Chain A
Amino acid sequence: MDGTQWSSGADEARAQLTAALTAVGRGDRAALRQVYDMTAAKLFGICLRICGERASAEDVLQTVYIKVWERAGQFDAARASPITWLATIARNGAIDWRRSVSGRTVRDTLPEQAAFAVADDSPLADQSLVAAEEGEQLHRCLGELEDRTRLCIRAAFFDGSTYAELATRENVPLGTMKSWIRRGLLRLKDCLGDG
């Protein structure tokens, strides 16, 4: 699975993934392997970035695909793109781990700011797994926020940072950080419009 494969036939890839995920929902194990082959690199990227080290990220990734197996019957292609549905499960799984006792223990032993390759603030013109228009609108609206607010929201999304971690990082009181982000999120919502 690589980026070029997606960009050369994004719609076709999406349709294939939707079909495979739907088959998983019917209990088709071969289809789960297909979903894994199509998405493991993407979902592992998510787990690795948020967990911060390979062994834990691999454990989390395993539980993510078990959840996919168990929940695929609930996937509704009319409501979400398959890759968004999968990425959300992976990100939530990694954040659950990071908030757990074992996650916090492991994280405490990691060097600060472990270097992983997602830029702090650089929207990529990427592989259109997600509808391009929605992406443009979100990036435009994020761009209207104050720089520090946008960077903190991005850090929360990509690093799985908590309010407390962001406040420490920016060296501001917790209340200030909450206020920045809450106001930023509500402005973001206004900009995106309801729906």
Chain B
Amino acid sequence: MDDHLTPTEERDALAAELALGLLEGQTRADALRLSLSDPAFAAQVAAWEAKLAPLHDEWADAQPGAAVWSGIERQLADAPTDKVTAIEMRLRRWRAGALLSGAVAAALAFVLITQPVPTPTPAAPQLAVARIESDAAGPLVLARYNQSNGLMQLRIHGFEPGTLAPELWVIPEGGTPVSLGQIGHAGEAEMTMPPPHRLLMTEGATLAITMEPVSKTPHPAPSSVAVASGKIITI
């Protein structure tokens, strides 16, 4: 049956389907990925959740066993040590650093923000850059990636410190998000990208940031929508 939905209606129906939970398998994975990389779509999903919210009045209450709360307490008791380790690990991977100097950062911002893009000298190593931002005046991360040595440098602005940490993802065109680990709330950071991840840093891929529970290892998949995203541009 063909319903002849316009692309706008199609997109809205997909948001409704994701909010309602009708999807499964690849379709669901694709829709979740879209909600991660596209804040406008994520907002549509949230709007549908809000429209359906009055139905939450109708659930029948049920009493969980006492073991549930003890389980929660146990997990929380483990948390502080985890958090310390996570921060140490994060610092090891993302060295908050002097290497992206103020001058380099200013030049990077210039490249990103102004037109025209300066002509790269032929001998210069190929660079990829991305401006990872939200629609609102929210967090902003400038990323600079040197393809010749795999060095990724970040300048991070505007994350509120809290129980969640910003996690950076690279999303290949038509692919699933791959975590590049958690980054700091502000300042500068750098990491030499592991070789398998370097292949993902191509023109048109998306860099996105979600707020995730602090973890010493990169998460296998994002748990929430992106707070900022941007396309990789090679220069």
Asked if residues A84 and B21 are in contact (CB atoms below 8 Å), the reply is: no
Kindly supply a per-residue 1/0 record for chain B positions 123-162, scoring 1 wherever the CB is within 8 Å of any chain A CB and 0 otherwise: 0000000000000000000000000000000000000101
**Contact present for A87 and B56 (CB under 8 Å):** yes
Complex interface bits, A111-127 against B, C-beta within 8 A gives 1, otherwise 0 = 00000111000011011
Q: Which residue of A lies closest to B60 (CB)?
A: A117
Q: How far is the CB of A51 from chain B (nearest CB, A)?
A: 11
Interface residues of A in 114-151 (CB under 8 A from B): 116-118, 123-124, 126-131, 134-135, 137-139
Chain A residues near B49 (CB, 8 Å)?
Answer: 88
Most buried by A among B54, B76, B213: B54
**Would you call A40 and B68 a contact (CB within 8 A)?**
yes
Q: Is the CB of B58 within 8 A of A134?
A: no
Q: Is the CB of B3 within 8 A of A182?
A: yes
Interface string of B54-80 (1 = CB under 8 A from A): 111111111111011101100110000
Q: Is the CB of A134 within 8 A of B54?
A: yes
B56 touches A83 (CB 8 A): yes
Find residues 1-45 in chain B having any chain A CB closer than 8 Å to their own CB.
Answer: 1, 3, 5, 9, 12-13, 16-17, 20-24, 28
Please tell me if the beta carbons of B58 and A118 are within 8 angstroms of each other in the complex. Answer: yes
B164 within 8 A of A: yes
Chain A contacts for B55, CB-based, 8 A: 138, 154, 157-158
Query: Contacts A73-B164, A138-B55, A182-B5 hold; do A44 and B21 have CB atoms under 8 A apart?
Result: no
Knowing A124-B57, A157-B20, the reply to whether A73 touches B75 (Cβ < 8 A) is no
Q: Does residue B217 face the partner (Cβ distance < 8 Å to A)?
A: no
Q: A88 to B59: give the CA distance in the assembly, Å.
A: 12
Min distance, Cβ A7 to any Cβ of chain B, angstroms: 11
Identity of the chain A residue whose Cβ is nearest the Cβ of B25 in the assembled complex: A99
Cα separation A61 to B213 with both chains bound (whole Å): 17
Determine whether the beta carbon of A25 is less than 8 Å from that of B163. yes
Contact B57 A156 (CB under 8 A): no
Q: Does any Cβ of A come within 8 Å of B52's Cβ? A: yes
- A18, chain B: closest CB distance, angstroms: 16
Q: Smallest CB-CB separation from A177: which chain B residue? A: B22
Contact call A162/B22, Cβ cutoff below 8 A: yes
A178–B22 Cα gap in the complex (Å)? 9
Residues of B within 8 A of A74 (CB): 162, 164, 211
Cα distance A43–B61 in the bound complex, in angstroms: 8
Q: Is A20 an interface residue (CB 8 A)?
A: no
Interface contact A70-B56, CB-CB below 8 Å: no
A78: Cβ under 8 A from any B Cβ: no
Q: Are A42 and B67 in contact (CB under 8 A)?
A: no
Contact flag A134-B53 (CB < 8 Å), given A58-B65, A73-B162: yes
With A69-B76, A88-B49 as known contacts, state yes or no: A130 contacts B59, CB within 8 Å: no
CB distance from A66 to the nearest CB of B (A): 6
Partner of B54, one of A135, A161, A189: A135
13 contacts between A and B (CB under 8 A): A2-B61, A41-B62, A49-B59, A62-B75, A67-B223, A71-B163, A71-B164, A99-B21, A124-B57, A127-B57, A128-B57, A138-B52, A157-B21
What 14 new A-B contacts, CB under 8 Å, besides A71-B211, A83-B56, A95-B21?
Answer: A2-B61, A45-B59, A58-B64, A70-B213, A71-B164, A91-B56, A127-B57, A130-B56, A157-B20, A161-B22, A163-B24, A166-B22, A182-B16, A186-B9
